Amino acid sequence: MQPRADLETHLVTNQPEEPGDLDLWRDDPVLRDHATPLLVGDEPAALAAQGARLGRADLREAARQAERPGPELRLFDRGGRRLDEVLFPPAYHDFLTLGLQAGYAGGPWTGGSHAAHAALVYLHSHVEPGTCCPMTMTYAAVPALAADPDLSALWRPRLTARGYDPRAVPLGRKGAATMGMAMTEKQGGSDLRQTASRAEPADGHWRLTGHKWFCSAPMSDGFLTLAQAPGGLTCFVVPRWTEEEGRNGIRLLRLKDKLGNRANASAEIEYVGARAWRLGDEGAGIRTIMAMVQHTRLDTAMAPAGLMRAALAEALRWCRGRSAFGARLIDQPLMRSLLADLALDCEGATALGLHVAGAFDDPGRAAFARIGVALAKFANNKLCVPVVAEAMEVLGGMGYVADTPLPMLYREAPLNGIWEGAGNVICLDVVRALRDAPTAAALDGELDAARGRVARYDRVLARFRRRWAGAPPPEEARVYAERAAQLLTASVVLRRAPAPVAEGYVLARLAGRGRFAGGGAGMDPAPILDRLGPG
């Protein structure tokens, strides 16, 4: 039954209707257009089905339940025996079931594509981004496990299975499993060389002792972690439970009280003689685990596009359903200009993220994937916070109220820019990548692929190359990364998006205008707004 609008003191008018069930695939031409050419087999139909599921009103309510009250730390049972477990609301498990059954983690490793995986990251980020973290790490652990064929044979079938088993039992009793990560320590942060956790050989395996400042998804079935072995910093697989010892020597100390990502538990942990298996060569820990980091970075590049799109969808719904000063908001010129400007950022981020994901599917484009994912992560996350904030401001006071998803989206917006390398780390990584000749050539090829379409693009690219003939000095890494990412995004949009959108992007983003202008003269908002789905 519809809620009452004729209240005792007033009539409720000029308020948009409740959104009801949505379809996040069908109603998003931008996602469909950029993703579909990259998909294989029945992936378009599978993504269409997942978009319809995630758009349901009951899933949005489940998302609220997943982060309210959020996870609860259970250190002991009532008799004082150690549990070291996290209790989640049922909705948390529902989202992991939904994502893992759809192939979020396993799809690319079982005949599917990384592009479809990236589209799933985008879709899930609309609704409940906190539950993406454990699925992303499970997906990204698979290539790192290739460093040890025996460990890969044990773990890979379970990490890629289309299922979810949250039981606290050893790996051998499960058909599906998840993998987390624990690297950061107090004294080191991003400088993993400062890792102080120790690893000692013991009876054919290893024992770890030490402290980890951040452990994402601490109820995972296992973790990739770093510790100092006799031969140097080494990567290890640490199972949560073992057949021989039951609960492994992993102590949960506390859950982090985070700004956002509240449905996901991030813990501070200690290894107390934890049983572990070496992954890769002794002393090669950073190189080994970087195979995982490269793939988690793809997700941190794609998730902000989903967050921005979700925020923009709320702003559009408001503007289409509310009037002010004699006209619908969606029909007012300044608002149309602002919305079109936000739409350009959303399309650019979506196009760039999926284009990079496509490179992950092509071994011949590995050099571009190496630098492309870093540029996409940096650029898309720098856009995410201001875009979500502008969308929130469109709703006025209602945008600041948790009856809408905008406060959740705003709390989430900075996270992916921090996780897996904050801005400075990523920009310095871009500089290192450019010192590899094939990587620099791959980026040049991507930028050259759009030449000759729009004169402004060609001029800006020529100026960019006059300033930086090779890798920039470290102090210029951020400005280089920003401009390279803008040009790369423009190149992709010029090749993949309709002409009005591509030309609008070049005009708005390569003309040197202020970021707060909101479109402006010379850009027709109508074809850009038409790309935002049914109104």
**What share of the chain in percent tops pLDDT 70?**
98
- H helices then E strands: how many in the chain? 18, 13
- Ramachandran quadrant class, 125 (left: phi over 0; alpha: psi -120 to 50; beta: rest): alpha
Residues making up the chain, counted from first to last:
535
Domain end (from 109, 140, 171):
171
CATH code of residue 81: 1.10.540
Residue 488 CB coordination number (10 Å):
24
Task: State the pLDDT at residue 414.
Answer: 97
Residues 322-340: pLDDT tens digits? 999 999 999 999 999 999 9
pLDDT over 80 (residue 535): no
Same domain, 226 and 143: no
Q: Is 432 exposed, middle or buried (0-12, 13-18, 19+ CB in 10 A)?
A: middle
Q: Is residue 391 part of a domain?
A: yes
Q: What does the mean pLDDT of the chain come to? A: 95
- Mean pLDDT value of segment 501-522: 76
Asked if 132 and 124 touch (Cβ cutoff 8 Å), the reply is yes
Q: Is residue 20 part of a domain?
A: no
pLDDT over 80 (residue 519): no
Backbone angles phi, psi at 520, to 5 degrees: 115, -170
Q: Which residue has the higher pLDDT, 523 or 103?
A: 103
Asked if 265 and 219 touch (Cβ cutoff 8 Å), the reply is yes
H or E stretch covering 238: strand 232-239
pLDDT over 90 (residue 343): yes
Q: How many domains does the chain have?
A: 3
| Sign of the alpha-carbon torsion through 459, 465, 466, 467 | positive
**What share of the chain in percent tops pLDDT 90?**
92
Same domain, 258 and 279: yes
Whether the bond between 69 and the residue before it is cis, its omega within 30 degrees of 0, is: yes
Residue 520 banded pLDDT, cuts 50, 70, 90 = low
Task: State the pLDDT at residue 56.
Answer: 97
Same domain, 360 and 455: yes
Asked if 375 and 431 touch (Cβ cutoff 8 Å), the reply is no
Q: Is residue 325 part of a domain?
A: yes
pLDDT over 60 (residue 514): no
Q: Cβ neighbours of residue 511 under 8 Å, at least 6 residues apart?
A: 456
Domain end (from 117, 143, 171):
171
H or E stretch covering 415: helix 415-418
- Mean pLDDT value of segment 498-525: 79
Residue 221 CB coordination number (10 Å):
25
Asked if 272 and 209 touch (Cβ cutoff 8 Å), the reply is yes
Same domain, 279 and 297: no
Q: Is residue 13 part of a domain?
A: no
Same domain, 475 and 516: yes
Residues 278-294: pLDDT tens digits? 999 999 999 999 999 99
Q: Which domain holds residue 459?
A: 288-530
pLDDT over 60 (residue 484): yes
Q: Is residue 4 part of a domain?
A: no
Residues 415-445: pLDDT tens digits? 999 998 899 999 999 999 999 999 999 999 9
CATH code of residue 255: 2.40.110.20
Q: Is residue 57 part of a domain?
A: yes
| Structure tokens belonging to residue 333 | 């010129």
Same domain, 312 and 346: yes
Strands 266-279 and 250-255: antiparallel
Same domain, 222 and 147: no
* CA atoms within a 13 Å half-sphere pointing along the CA-CB vector of 504: 29
Of the given ranges (179-193, 224-238, 470-484), which has the lowest mean pLDDT?
A: 179-193
- Mean pLDDT value of segment 37-46: 98
Nearest by Cα to 103 from 154, 46, 51, 25: 46
Q: Is residue 126 part of a domain?
A: yes
pLDDT over 60 (residue 144): yes
Domain end (from 122, 142, 171):
171
Give helix 423-434 / helix 366-394 axis angle, nearest 10°. 150
Residues 42-92: pLDDT tens digits? 999 999 999 999 999 999 999 999 998 899 999 999 999 999 999 999 999
Q: What Cα–Cα distance (Å) separates residue 138 from each residue in 117, 166, 439? A: 12, 13, 27
Task: State the pLDDT at residue 189.
Answer: 83
- Cα separation, 150 vs 204, in Å, equals 14
Same domain, 281 and 293: no
Same domain, 239 and 303: no
Give helix 90-101 / helix 57-67 axis angle, nearest 10°. 120
- Mean pLDDT value of segment 260-276: 96
| Sign of the alpha-carbon torsion through 525, 526, 531, 534 | positive
Task: State the pLDDT at residue 2.
Answer: 84
Same domain, 346 and 484: yes
Same domain, 232 and 165: no
Task: State the pLDDT at residue 276.
Answer: 97
CATH code of residue 504: 1.20.140.10
| Structure tokens belonging to residue 37 | 């050419």
Task: State the pLDDT at residue 381.
Answer: 98
> What's the pTM?
0.96
Same domain, 276 and 293: no
pLDDT over 70 (residue 492): yes
- Cα separation, 337 vs 330, in Å, equals 10
